[in-house]
Amino acid sequence: MDYRSLITSPTLLIDEKVCRANIQKMAEKAELHQLELIPHWKTAQSKKIGEWAREYGIRKITTSSIRQAAYLSNTGWDLIHIAFPFNIREIPRLNELARNQAISVQIVNPFTIQKLAEQVSTPIGFMIEIDAGYGRTGVHMSDFGKIDEILKIGKTSKNLSFLGFYIHPGHTYYKPDKELIYHETRQALAMLKTKYESEYPNLVTRIGDTPGCSVATDFGDIDQMGPGNFVFYDLMQADLGSCKKSDIAVALAVPIVDIVPERKEILVHGGGVHLAKDHLIEKDGKKNFGEIVFLKKDGWEIPEHISFVKSISQEHGLIQASDELLNQVQVGDLLGILPIHSCMTADAMGVYLSLSGEWIDHAEEKKFKV
Protein backbone atom coordinates (compact mmCIF):
# COMPACT_ATOMS: atom_id res chain seq x y z
CA MET A 1 0.00 0.00 0.00
CA ASP A 2 1.42 3.37 -1.03
CA TYR A 3 0.52 5.98 1.58
CA ARG A 4 0.46 8.65 -1.15
CA SER A 5 -2.67 7.14 -2.64
CA LEU A 6 -4.56 8.11 0.54
CA ILE A 7 -3.73 11.80 0.30
CA THR A 8 -6.05 14.27 -1.36
CA SER A 9 -5.51 17.35 0.81
CA PRO A 10 -2.84 18.60 3.28
CA THR A 11 -1.78 15.66 5.48
CA LEU A 12 0.90 15.41 8.14
CA LEU A 13 3.21 12.47 7.51
CA ILE A 14 5.24 10.78 10.22
CA ASP A 15 8.28 8.60 9.60
CA GLU A 16 8.10 6.11 12.47
CA LYS A 17 11.70 4.96 12.03
CA VAL A 18 13.09 8.49 12.31
CA CYS A 19 10.82 9.26 15.27
CA ARG A 20 11.87 6.09 17.11
CA ALA A 21 15.54 6.82 16.40
CA ASN A 22 15.14 10.30 17.94
CA ILE A 23 13.51 8.85 21.04
CA GLN A 24 16.10 6.09 21.35
CA LYS A 25 19.02 8.49 20.98
CA MET A 26 17.70 10.82 23.68
CA ALA A 27 16.91 7.86 25.96
CA GLU A 28 20.49 6.64 25.55
CA LYS A 29 21.84 10.10 26.25
CA ALA A 30 19.70 10.33 29.38
CA GLU A 31 20.97 6.94 30.56
CA LEU A 32 24.58 7.90 29.90
CA HIS A 33 24.17 10.96 32.09
CA GLN A 34 22.08 9.13 34.71
CA LEU A 35 19.05 11.28 34.01
CA GLU A 36 15.45 10.17 33.85
CA LEU A 37 13.97 11.17 30.47
CA ILE A 38 10.45 12.56 30.96
CA PRO A 39 9.58 13.92 27.53
CA HIS A 40 7.30 16.88 26.99
CA TRP A 41 4.39 15.47 25.03
CA LYS A 42 3.13 18.88 23.83
CA THR A 43 4.91 18.05 20.58
CA ALA A 44 3.60 14.57 19.79
CA GLN A 45 0.30 14.76 21.77
CA SER A 46 -0.34 11.15 20.76
CA LYS A 47 -1.25 7.95 22.58
CA LYS A 48 0.23 5.77 19.86
CA ILE A 49 3.56 7.60 19.79
CA GLY A 50 3.47 7.28 23.58
CA GLU A 51 3.42 3.50 23.13
CA TRP A 52 6.56 3.75 21.02
CA ALA A 53 8.22 5.88 23.72
CA ARG A 54 7.48 3.33 26.44
CA GLU A 55 9.40 0.73 24.43
CA TYR A 56 12.52 2.81 25.21
CA GLY A 57 11.91 2.74 28.95
CA ILE A 58 10.03 6.04 29.25
CA ARG A 59 7.48 5.87 32.05
CA LYS A 60 6.40 9.47 32.71
CA ILE A 61 5.49 12.38 30.46
CA THR A 62 4.74 16.06 30.56
CA THR A 63 2.00 18.11 28.91
CA SER A 64 1.37 21.83 28.56
CA SER A 65 -2.34 21.80 29.39
CA ILE A 66 -4.84 19.90 31.44
CA ARG A 67 -6.65 19.15 28.18
CA GLN A 68 -3.62 17.29 26.83
CA ALA A 69 -3.24 15.52 30.18
CA ALA A 70 -6.88 14.42 30.07
CA TYR A 71 -6.39 13.07 26.56
CA LEU A 72 -3.37 11.00 27.61
CA SER A 73 -4.67 9.86 30.99
CA ASN A 74 -5.11 6.16 31.59
CA THR A 75 -3.04 5.17 28.60
CA GLY A 76 -0.15 3.69 30.54
CA TRP A 77 1.79 6.59 32.10
CA ASP A 78 3.08 6.33 35.67
CA LEU A 79 2.80 10.11 36.01
CA ILE A 80 1.63 12.99 33.84
CA HIS A 81 3.11 16.36 34.78
CA ILE A 82 1.31 19.48 33.54
CA ALA A 83 4.25 21.84 32.98
CA PHE A 84 2.26 25.04 32.70
CA PRO A 85 1.68 27.49 35.57
CA PHE A 86 -1.45 25.97 37.02
CA ASN A 87 -4.73 27.68 36.17
CA ILE A 88 -6.95 27.70 39.25
CA ARG A 89 -10.13 27.76 37.15
CA GLU A 90 -9.32 24.15 36.30
CA ILE A 91 -9.23 22.78 39.86
CA PRO A 92 -12.53 20.88 39.47
CA ARG A 93 -11.22 19.24 36.30
CA LEU A 94 -7.92 18.46 38.03
CA ASN A 95 -9.74 16.74 40.89
CA GLU A 96 -11.69 14.66 38.42
CA LEU A 97 -8.62 13.75 36.37
CA ALA A 98 -6.46 12.85 39.36
CA ARG A 99 -8.94 10.26 40.59
CA ASN A 100 -7.68 7.76 38.01
CA GLN A 101 -4.32 9.05 36.87
CA ALA A 102 -1.24 10.18 38.83
CA ILE A 103 -0.86 13.90 38.06
CA SER A 104 1.50 16.65 39.05
CA VAL A 105 1.24 20.37 38.37
CA GLN A 106 3.54 23.36 38.11
CA ILE A 107 3.50 26.23 40.59
CA VAL A 108 4.89 29.73 40.16
CA ASN A 109 3.15 31.71 42.91
CA PRO A 110 1.75 31.29 46.45
CA PHE A 111 -1.77 32.35 45.42
CA THR A 112 -2.23 29.30 43.21
CA ILE A 113 -0.92 26.76 45.71
CA GLN A 114 -3.20 28.31 48.35
CA LYS A 115 -6.25 27.65 46.15
CA LEU A 116 -5.04 24.12 45.48
CA ALA A 117 -4.46 23.50 49.19
CA GLU A 118 -8.04 24.57 49.87
CA GLN A 119 -9.74 22.72 47.04
CA VAL A 120 -7.74 19.67 45.96
CA SER A 121 -9.52 16.48 46.93
CA THR A 122 -7.08 13.89 45.56
CA PRO A 123 -3.30 13.47 45.98
CA ILE A 124 -1.41 15.68 43.50
CA GLY A 125 2.30 16.34 43.14
CA PHE A 126 3.73 19.75 42.39
CA MET A 127 6.96 21.13 41.02
CA ILE A 128 8.07 24.72 41.44
CA GLU A 129 9.06 26.30 38.17
CA ILE A 130 12.24 28.34 38.45
CA ASP A 131 13.24 31.19 36.17
CA ALA A 132 17.00 30.98 35.71
CA GLY A 133 17.22 33.78 33.16
CA TYR A 134 14.73 33.01 30.39
CA GLY A 135 12.27 35.51 31.80
CA ARG A 136 9.01 34.00 30.53
CA THR A 137 7.70 32.30 33.63
CA GLY A 138 8.75 30.89 37.00
CA VAL A 139 9.91 32.04 40.42
CA HIS A 140 13.25 33.82 40.19
CA MET A 141 15.96 31.40 41.34
CA SER A 142 17.03 33.67 44.19
CA ASP A 143 13.53 34.49 45.43
CA PHE A 144 13.73 32.16 48.43
CA GLY A 145 10.98 34.09 50.16
CA LYS A 146 8.50 33.06 47.48
CA ILE A 147 9.79 29.48 47.30
CA ASP A 148 9.53 29.11 51.09
CA GLU A 149 6.01 30.53 51.06
CA ILE A 150 4.90 28.09 48.35
CA LEU A 151 6.42 25.15 50.24
CA LYS A 152 4.85 26.27 53.51
CA ILE A 153 1.37 26.47 51.98
CA GLY A 154 1.92 23.14 50.23
CA LYS A 155 2.46 21.51 53.63
CA THR A 156 -0.96 22.61 54.82
CA SER A 157 -2.68 20.04 52.57
CA LYS A 158 -2.20 16.32 52.94
CA ASN A 159 -3.11 15.99 49.24
CA LEU A 160 -0.18 18.08 47.99
CA SER A 161 3.35 16.73 47.76
CA PHE A 162 6.39 18.66 46.62
CA LEU A 163 8.36 16.86 43.91
CA GLY A 164 11.10 19.31 43.03
CA PHE A 165 12.26 22.14 40.79
CA TYR A 166 11.68 22.55 37.04
CA ILE A 167 13.56 24.87 34.71
CA HIS A 168 12.77 25.47 31.05
CA PRO A 169 15.85 27.36 29.85
CA GLY A 170 14.09 28.57 26.69
CA HIS A 171 16.85 31.06 25.95
CA THR A 172 18.75 28.16 24.36
CA TYR A 173 16.45 28.90 21.41
CA TYR A 174 17.83 32.41 21.03
CA LYS A 175 21.39 32.44 22.35
CA PRO A 176 24.31 30.64 20.78
CA ASP A 177 26.14 29.55 23.92
CA LYS A 178 23.99 26.70 25.14
CA GLU A 179 26.78 25.25 27.29
CA LEU A 180 26.96 28.53 29.23
CA ILE A 181 23.19 28.59 29.72
CA TYR A 182 23.36 25.01 30.95
CA HIS A 183 26.21 25.90 33.28
CA GLU A 184 24.03 28.61 34.86
CA THR A 185 20.99 26.35 34.95
CA ARG A 186 22.92 23.49 36.56
CA GLN A 187 24.26 25.86 39.18
CA ALA A 188 20.79 27.21 39.96
CA LEU A 189 19.33 23.72 40.33
CA ALA A 190 22.30 22.46 42.38
CA MET A 191 21.98 25.44 44.72
CA LEU A 192 18.26 24.83 45.20
CA LYS A 193 18.77 21.14 45.77
CA THR A 194 21.43 21.77 48.40
CA LYS A 195 19.22 24.29 50.14
CA TYR A 196 16.04 22.20 50.24
CA GLU A 197 17.05 18.54 50.20
CA SER A 198 17.48 18.24 53.95
CA GLU A 199 13.78 18.96 54.30
CA TYR A 200 12.75 17.18 51.06
CA PRO A 201 15.28 14.33 50.64
CA ASN A 202 13.49 12.94 47.56
CA LEU A 203 13.25 16.20 45.65
CA VAL A 204 14.30 16.08 42.00
CA THR A 205 15.51 18.73 39.58
CA ARG A 206 14.49 18.81 35.94
CA ILE A 207 15.67 20.66 32.89
CA GLY A 208 13.58 20.76 29.77
CA ASP A 209 14.42 22.20 26.37
CA THR A 210 15.34 20.46 23.14
CA PRO A 211 18.29 22.61 21.98
CA GLY A 212 20.09 22.22 25.31
CA CYS A 213 19.26 18.55 25.90
CA SER A 214 20.37 17.77 22.34
CA VAL A 215 23.81 19.35 22.54
CA ALA A 216 24.78 19.67 26.21
CA THR A 217 27.49 17.33 27.49
CA ASP A 218 27.40 18.19 31.19
CA PHE A 219 24.20 17.85 33.23
CA GLY A 220 25.90 17.94 36.64
CA ASP A 221 23.67 16.38 39.27
CA ILE A 222 20.40 17.24 37.53
CA ASP A 223 17.98 14.31 37.93
CA GLN A 224 15.57 14.56 35.00
CA MET A 225 15.48 15.91 31.45
CA GLY A 226 12.24 16.97 29.79
CA PRO A 227 12.73 17.95 26.13
CA GLY A 228 9.70 17.83 23.84
CA ASN A 229 10.46 18.80 20.28
CA PHE A 230 13.25 16.18 19.86
CA VAL A 231 10.63 13.51 19.17
CA PHE A 232 10.09 15.12 15.73
CA TYR A 233 12.68 17.89 15.48
CA ASP A 234 12.17 20.52 12.73
CA LEU A 235 14.00 23.12 10.65
CA MET A 236 14.30 25.53 13.58
CA GLN A 237 16.13 22.82 15.54
CA ALA A 238 18.30 21.98 12.54
CA ASP A 239 19.12 25.68 12.28
CA LEU A 240 20.02 25.74 16.00
CA GLY A 241 22.29 22.73 15.57
CA SER A 242 20.13 20.34 17.64
CA CYS A 243 19.69 17.88 14.77
CA LYS A 244 20.29 17.22 11.10
CA LYS A 245 17.50 17.76 8.55
CA SER A 246 17.41 13.99 8.10
CA ASP A 247 16.37 13.65 11.78
CA ILE A 248 13.08 15.48 11.14
CA ALA A 249 10.30 12.91 11.61
CA VAL A 250 7.29 14.79 10.20
CA ALA A 251 6.53 16.42 6.85
CA LEU A 252 3.36 18.04 5.57
CA ALA A 253 2.20 16.45 2.30
CA VAL A 254 0.58 19.06 0.07
CA PRO A 255 -1.00 18.93 -3.39
CA ILE A 256 0.30 21.21 -6.13
CA VAL A 257 -2.48 23.41 -7.53
CA ASP A 258 -0.50 25.66 -9.89
CA ILE A 259 2.98 26.05 -11.36
CA VAL A 260 4.33 29.33 -12.74
CA PRO A 261 7.67 28.40 -14.36
CA GLU A 262 8.51 31.97 -15.45
CA ARG A 263 8.54 33.05 -11.80
CA LYS A 264 9.89 29.69 -10.55
CA GLU A 265 6.88 29.45 -8.27
CA ILE A 266 4.72 26.52 -7.23
CA LEU A 267 1.43 27.09 -5.46
CA VAL A 268 0.27 24.39 -3.04
CA HIS A 269 -2.72 23.78 -0.82
CA GLY A 270 -0.94 24.13 2.51
CA GLY A 271 -1.05 27.37 4.49
CA GLY A 272 -0.99 28.86 7.95
CA VAL A 273 -3.84 26.67 9.21
CA HIS A 274 -1.76 23.59 8.35
CA LEU A 275 1.90 24.53 8.89
CA ALA A 276 1.34 27.42 11.35
CA LYS A 277 3.24 30.61 10.59
CA ASP A 278 6.60 30.13 12.29
CA HIS A 279 9.45 30.96 9.93
CA LEU A 280 13.19 31.25 9.66
CA ILE A 281 14.91 34.20 8.04
CA GLU A 282 17.25 33.27 5.20
CA LYS A 283 20.58 35.03 4.70
CA ASP A 284 19.09 37.29 2.04
CA GLY A 285 16.35 38.37 4.46
CA LYS A 286 13.62 36.23 2.89
CA LYS A 287 11.20 34.37 5.13
CA ASN A 288 11.27 30.58 5.00
CA PHE A 289 8.06 28.85 6.15
CA GLY A 290 9.24 25.32 5.36
CA GLU A 291 11.46 23.36 2.96
CA ILE A 292 10.43 21.01 0.19
CA VAL A 293 11.16 17.28 0.17
CA PHE A 294 10.27 14.72 -2.48
CA LEU A 295 7.76 12.11 -1.36
CA LYS A 296 8.89 8.61 -2.28
CA LYS A 297 7.18 5.30 -1.69
CA ASP A 298 9.15 4.56 1.47
CA GLY A 299 9.61 8.07 2.82
CA TRP A 300 10.88 11.47 1.82
CA GLU A 301 14.08 12.58 0.20
CA ILE A 302 15.85 15.89 0.78
CA PRO A 303 16.66 17.45 -2.61
CA GLU A 304 20.13 18.62 -3.49
CA HIS A 305 18.90 22.17 -4.13
CA ILE A 306 16.67 23.92 -1.62
CA SER A 307 13.13 24.97 -2.49
CA PHE A 308 11.13 26.65 0.25
CA VAL A 309 7.77 28.16 1.11
CA LYS A 310 8.39 31.88 0.74
CA SER A 311 4.95 33.14 1.60
CA ILE A 312 1.92 31.75 3.31
CA SER A 313 -1.68 32.73 3.88
CA GLN A 314 -4.61 30.93 5.48
CA GLU A 315 -4.65 28.02 2.99
CA HIS A 316 -2.07 29.00 0.33
CA GLY A 317 1.64 28.20 0.34
CA LEU A 318 3.82 29.77 -2.36
CA ILE A 319 7.06 27.92 -3.06
CA GLN A 320 10.26 29.40 -4.45
CA ALA A 321 11.25 26.40 -6.56
CA SER A 322 14.63 25.20 -7.76
CA ASP A 323 15.01 24.10 -11.39
CA GLU A 324 15.47 20.54 -10.06
CA LEU A 325 12.01 20.75 -8.52
CA LEU A 326 10.31 22.55 -11.43
CA ASN A 327 11.60 19.96 -13.87
CA GLN A 328 9.90 17.03 -12.23
CA VAL A 329 6.47 18.12 -11.06
CA GLN A 330 3.05 18.77 -12.50
CA VAL A 331 -0.24 20.08 -11.13
CA GLY A 332 -1.85 17.44 -8.93
CA ASP A 333 1.45 15.99 -7.67
CA LEU A 334 2.25 15.88 -3.97
CA LEU A 335 5.21 17.55 -2.30
CA GLY A 336 6.42 17.29 1.28
CA ILE A 337 7.22 20.31 3.45
CA LEU A 338 9.57 20.00 6.44
CA PRO A 339 8.06 22.25 9.11
CA ILE A 340 9.82 25.14 10.81
CA HIS A 341 8.16 24.34 14.15
CA SER A 342 6.82 20.81 14.34
CA CYS A 343 4.90 21.29 17.65
CA MET A 344 2.74 23.97 16.04
CA THR A 345 2.29 22.05 12.79
CA ALA A 346 1.22 18.88 14.61
CA ASP A 347 -1.22 20.86 16.76
CA ALA A 348 -2.68 22.53 13.67
CA MET A 349 -3.10 19.23 11.79
CA GLY A 350 -4.41 17.07 14.59
CA VAL A 351 -3.64 13.65 13.10
CA TYR A 352 -0.67 11.90 11.46
CA LEU A 353 -0.40 9.48 8.55
CA SER A 354 2.37 6.90 8.79
CA LEU A 355 4.38 5.77 5.78
CA SER A 356 2.59 2.44 5.97
CA GLY A 357 -0.76 4.21 5.55
CA GLU A 358 -1.90 4.07 9.17
CA TRP A 359 -3.65 7.04 10.81
CA ILE A 360 -2.03 7.97 14.13
CA ASP A 361 -3.91 9.87 16.80
CA HIS A 362 -3.26 13.38 18.13
CA ALA A 363 -5.03 15.16 21.01
CA GLU A 364 -6.43 17.73 18.54
CA GLU A 365 -8.13 15.15 16.40
CA LYS A 366 -9.42 16.67 13.20
CA LYS A 367 -9.76 13.64 10.99
CA PHE A 368 -12.05 15.52 8.64
CA LYS A 369 -9.09 17.65 7.65
CA VAL A 370 -7.81 14.83 5.50
In the bound state with a copy of itself, the residue whose beta carbon lies nearer, of 42 and 193, is 42
In whole angstroms, the minimum distance from the beta carbon of 317 to a copy of itself comes to 10
**Is-contact 108 132, C-beta < 8 A?**
no
CB closer to a copy of itself, 84 vs 219: 84
Nearer to a copy of itself, 29 or 46 (CB): 46
Smallest distance from a copy of itself to CB 90, Å: 5
CB of 99 to a copy of itself, least distance (A): 18
| Contact footprint for a copy of itself (CB under 8 A) | 7-9, 42, 64-67, 71, 84-90, 92-93, 108-109, 111-112, 115, 136-137, 170, 255, 257-259, 267, 269, 272-273, 276-278, 311, 313-316, 318, 330-332, 343-344, 347-348, 364, 366, 368-369
Q: Report the distance separating Cα 113 and Cα 351, nearest Å.
A: 35
Nearer to a copy of itself, 169 or 193 (CB): 169
Q: Which is nearer to a copy of itself, 71 or 77 (CB)?
A: 71
Q: How far is the CB of 249 from a copy of itself (least distance, A)?
A: 18
Give whichever of 27 and 151 is closer to a copy of itself, judged by the CB atom. Answer: 151
Which is closer to a copy of itself, CB of 33 or CB of 93? 93
